[in-house]
Amino acid sequence: MFGSLTEKFSELFSRFTTSGSLSAQSIESALEMVKTTLLEADVPYDVIEHFIKQLQADLLGKKINAGLKPAELVMRTVQDRLIELLGGKQSSTGFSFQIPSVILMVGLQGSGKTTTLAKLASMIQKEAAKRNKKRKILVCSVDYYRPAAREQLEILAKTVGVDYYAAQATDPVAAAQEAVFYAQKNHYDHCFIDTAGRLHVDTDLLEELSSIIKRINPTYTFLVLDGMIGQESLRVAQKFEAISNATGVILSKMDGDSRGGAAFACYYMVRKPVVFMGVGERVEDLEYFHPERIASRIIGLGDMHTLIEKAEEKIKVADQKDLQKAFSQGKLTLQDFSKQLDMMSSLGSLSSIMKYIPGISGMKIDPAHLEKGEREMKKFKAIINSMTPKERTGRSTIVESRRKRIAQGSGTMPQDVVLLLERFEQSQQFVKILKRRPNF
């Protein structure tokens, strides 16, 4: 996501570790590098100027104190200024939607409004479920320009389990009004309105949106911007912002090739915080945009907070408990080992987990290595599945002839079975060591 930015920033800090001093000259050359990095990430020039000037003033005025190495000082300064640029420190609980509320999605065609709407609805439900609550959600599309647009939302509504409202009116303003009335009458907690976009911002579109906003007076208006198109999306945002007084921005498509420029400059250019970001096509691919965590990711410090949250969400409590039991008893079976592998893969591919881990996020890792790791995990799963329950729980030893049979049964080679058993052995050792640690 912020791959190349992270890589460059990590490189920048490592320079200071080796040189060990913080002279005016070393600061100058470091800032030059920051500038190039940001230009490559498609950050608008005036945002870069502003950022560099701030860093310059901060760094040149600073004295090295005994406790802090130059690299750490530079890193902290960049981190502080970056957090500020991305929208400042915010509450760590993320965004909470008031009840009842009307939520309007605006943006260009293809920016991701409809998909993001479904993601938000799903997120609201999940957050409520964590507190044993249920939310009544209605969604409605007033896109009368693309024939399939409303159908797309209807299908997504089914997928996430919320109600879809098909308006009688075919005029977008009247249809939006109708949906909001229906939601009020039927006591919905949240009513989402999806609007039509255009390929470019034109007066027709802006007038239509203004009329909708005047008529329904939404509680929240989210401006959805395509994170992949960098600077261009920011110009679009400025035009939308003039009419919509949006609550905030949602950057979509921050997975893939996004160079991060839009995320970097959005708050400065549009004066609206980025609240969420889309990181994939599935309904669960939505994350809060915490400036502190994003700054941390960009400068290569990773984002353990988000990784832990993902883990909590994706891994079944029962599985967590089983493993905890295995750990506390200091005994791990192949069955548990297989569960661990499942947990890893439920979090995503190795490369997608990596970016959250401090120190690794900025590193260039050979994709071939990662692929090998993923292939190995799949093989291990298949091998464990081909074992008998007794073998899986360690009640019978796996002799050579069984190794061959297991390999055949799982479509692997006998040496793969040996490798798995070795890895498992290491894991067992690890669990024993953990058990010896107090407070575990």
Ligand X SMILES: Nc1nc2c(ncn2[C@@H]2O[C@H](COP(=O)(O)OP(=O)(O)O)[C@@H](O)[C@H]2O)c(=O)[nH]1
Say which DSSP state 65 is in.
Answer: P
Closest to 183 measured CA to CA, from 219, 151, 209:
219
- Residue 147: CB minimum distance to Mg ion, A: 12
Which listed option, Mg ion, ligand X, none, makes contact with residue 280 (CB within 5 to 8 Å by class)? ligand X
DSSP 8-state assignment for residue 145:
S
CA–CA separation, 268 vs 145, rounded Å? 33
Residue placing its CB nearer to ligand X in the complex, 235 or 395: 235
Distance CA 70, CA 14 (A): 10
CB of 149 to Mg ion, least distance (A): 5
Name the residue nearer to Mg ion (CB basis): 116 or 296. Answer: 116
**What is the Cα–Cα distance from 142 to 171, expressed in whole angstroms?**
8
Q: Which is nearer to ligand X, 180 or 283 (CB)?
A: 283
Range in contact with Mg ion (rule: CB under 5 A) among 109-117, 174-182, 291-299, 311-319: 109-117
Which pair of structure tokens corresponds to residue 1?
A: 């996501």
Could you say whether residue 281 binds ligand X (CB under 6 A)?
Answer: yes
CB 267 within 8 A of CB 241: no
Size of interface with ligand X, in residues (CB under 6 A):
18
Give which of 308, 276, 219 is closest to 90, Cα–Cα: 276
| Residues that contact Mg ion, how many (by CB under 5 A) | 3
Considering only 280, 291, 348, 362, the residue that binds ligand X (CB under 6 A) is 280
Evaluate whether 208 touches 197 at the Cβ level (below 8 Å): no
Q: Does 109 bind ligand X (CB under 6 A)?
A: yes
**114 binds Mg ion per the rule CB under 5 A:** yes
Kindly identify the residues of this chain, within the stretch 68-107, that bind ligand X according to CB under 6 A. Answer: 107
358 binds, among ligand X, Mg ion, none (CB under 5 to 8 A by kind): none
**Sign of dihedral through CA atoms 373, 376, 382, 384?**
negative
**Window 243-262: contact mask with ligand X (x via CB under 6 A):** ---------xx-xx------
φ and ψ of 300, to 5 deg: 90, 15
If contact means CB under 5 to 8 A according to the sort of partner, which of ligand X, Mg ion, none does residue 110 touch?
A: ligand X
H helix or E strand, kind and range, residue 220: strand 220-226
Site for ligand X in 282-301 (CB under 6 A): 285
CB of 106 to ligand X, least distance (A): 9
Q: Rounded to an integer, what is the distance from CA 127 to the centroid of its chain?
A: 16
**Does residue 110 belong to the site contacting ligand X (CB under 6 A)?**
yes
> Which is nearest to 115 in space by CA: 242, 22, 253?
253
Smallest gap from residue 52 Cβ to ligand X (A)? 30
Chain contacts with ligand X (rule: CB under 6 A): 107, 109-115, 197, 252-253, 255-256, 278-281, 285
Site residues for Mg ion per CB under 5 A: 113-114, 149
